[in-house]
Amino acid sequence: MSSSRILVLNSGSSSVKYQLLDMRDSSRLAVGLVERIGEETSRLKHTPAGAEAREWTGPIADHEAALKAVSAELAKDGLGLDSPELAAIGHRVVHGGKHFTEPTVVDDTVLAEIERLIPVAPLHNPANLTGIRTAQALRPDLPQVAVFDTAFHTTMPESAARYAIDVQTADEHRIRRYGFHGTSHAYVSRATAQLLGRAPEDVNVIVLHLGNGASASAVRGGTCVDTSMGLTPLEGLVMGTRSGDMDPAVIFHLMRVGGMSADEIDTLLNKKSGLIGLCGDNDMREIRRRIDEGDEQAQLAFDIYIHRLKKYIGAYYAVLGRVDAIAFTAGVGENAAPVREAAVAGLEELGLAVDSELNAVRGDAPRLISPEHARVAVAVVPTDEELEIATQTYALVKGSQNLT
């Protein structure tokens, strides 16, 4: 029997999310999560397909222990990591810089480059590296594939990727706009073309990935030409806890007048700003509940969120020239009908509108929410980053097997 299983690992500093997929039919064999790694109360939650979830709490010292615990859980379902049916392990890697434009089989050079990028991704790349090294130690014979969050955006033209700052300084410190959530933007833009029954090459899409982190992208014929996140995920839209776009001089002001350190400002803008900074909540469900009760602070936070979103829709409309579809995705984009309605309200002149009844329908499948003969399709397209990582990983290892 040929190997057709892919394990997808998303390693954070104190957590590992995983999914085991069978690529013959892209089905999930198991999904799970280990969190609070390094604490006494680490938790593992493992859900095999079609069965009850199993939970376990206790000390899990490090990523190696976490992956061993995951393997033990998988083994109980006959899916252990030692299985010959496992074809490869696909790793989400947040920052791939300018040069990783494709999923890449990991070797020492690739590991060194991911390590070299740590200064531009200090929170994410170290954890991603740990995940890869741990998986390598467990199955040294297996291809480990890095799938980069930045890869889809490497096609951005220099006019979109460069900041207007001194070129030498920018190049010396590798300061440019890299963009993130690329795996999701790639998957959703393709799925949107499919929903329209057209080839991705023929379709221009604005993708709005609205989760706790949020980003927009302009995709022309399957190729990303602009995205809202930059050197780091801080730029762009108003997010759950991040400010998004802001006059950079706010930072000097906080340093000089507010007496804050760089680390304090980093925490302020990444963790205590956006919706949570504006109204104390970052969950859109809670914000909508408060608005329904007449809460003005929640209403203002919502209005600021929508105003920024609308500006990006307008900007990317101009960047693309012709827009065939706008796709909403991720936790807020897939679930919050009021956000979708407000984001396109008043844009009828651009061919954009939402049908209230279609917008109110809930579901897991990609669907159109624009009126029947609208010039621009407005769609809800659930993202699936794990499936995309598995698909890219499988395509890469299958391709290389064919060559040998």
Q: Dihedral sign for Cα 194, 399, 7, 108, please.
A: negative
Hey, which residues between 9 and 48 contact ligand ADP (CB under 6 A)?
Answer: none
Site map (CB under 6 A) of ligand ADP, residues 250-289, x = contact: --------------------------------xxxx----
**Which pair of tokens denotes residue 61?**
């010292």
User: Residue 139 — φ and ψ, nearest 5°?
Assistant: -135, 75
Tell me the closest approach of the beta carbon of residue 241 to ligand ADP, in angstroms.
9
Size of the site for ligand ADP (CB under 6 A): 13
Smallest distance, ligand ADP to C-beta of residue 208, A: 12
Of 130 and 215, nearer to ligand ADP (C-beta) is 215
247 and 208 Cβ atoms separated by less than 8 Å:
no
Binds ligand ADP by CB under 6 A, chosen from 186, 193, 330, 380 = 330
The C-alpha atoms of residue 110 and residue 124 are separated, in whole angstroms, by 16
DSSP-assigned letter for residue 140: T
Closest contact distance (angstroms) between CB of 281 and ligand ADP is 9
Q: Does 241 bind ligand ADP (CB under 6 A)?
A: no
Residue 327 touching ligand ADP (CB under 6 A)? no
Question: Which tokens belong to 100?
Answer: 């990783």
Please count the CA atoms within 13 angstroms of the CA of 308 that sit on its side-chain side: 23
Other CB atoms closer than 10 Å to residue 39's CB: what's the count?
12
Closest distance to ligand ADP from the beta carbon of 36 (Å): 17
Is 149 tagged catalytic?
yes
Residue type, 37: I
Which secondary structure element, helix H or strand E, spans residue 259, and what is its range?
A: none
Residue of 278, 332, 369, 397 that binds ligand ADP (CB under 6 A): 332
Residues numbered 334-363 forming contacts with ligand ADP, rule: CB under 6 A: 335-336
Which residues, at least 6 apart from 198, have a Cβ–Cβ distance to it below 8 Å? 324
Residue 213 or 236: which CB sits closer to ligand ADP? Answer: 213
| Residue number with CB closer to ligand ADP (144 or 184) | 184
At its nearest, how many Å lie between ligand ADP and the CB of residue 93?
A: 16
* Binding segment toward ligand ADP, per CB under 6 A, in 72-80, 141-149, 163-171, 324-332: 324-332
CB of 131 to ligand ADP, least distance (A): 17
The string of DSSP codes covering 156-183 is S-HHHH--SS-HHHHHHTT-S---S-HH
Q: Which is nearer to ligand ADP, 23 or 229 (CB)?
A: 229
Nearer to ligand ADP, 17 or 177 (CB): 17
Beta strands in 186-309 (DSSP E): 204-210, 214-220, 223-227
Q: Which residues of 199-227 are buried (b: 16+ CB within 10 A; e: fewer)?
A: ebeebbbbbbbbbbbbbbbbbbbbebbbb
Interface mask (CB under 6 A) for ligand ADP, residues 193-212, using x and -?
------------------xx
Point out the catalytic residue in the list 149, 281, 324, 384.
149
Cβ-contact 213, 275 below 8 angstroms: no
Structure tokens, 374: 């609208």
β-pair partners for 379: 327, 368
Tell whether residue 381 is a contact of ligand ADP (CB under 6 A): no
Residue type, 98: K
The site for ligand ADP (CB under 6 A) is made up of 211-213, 240, 282-285, 330-332, 335-336
So which residues are the catalytic ones?
149
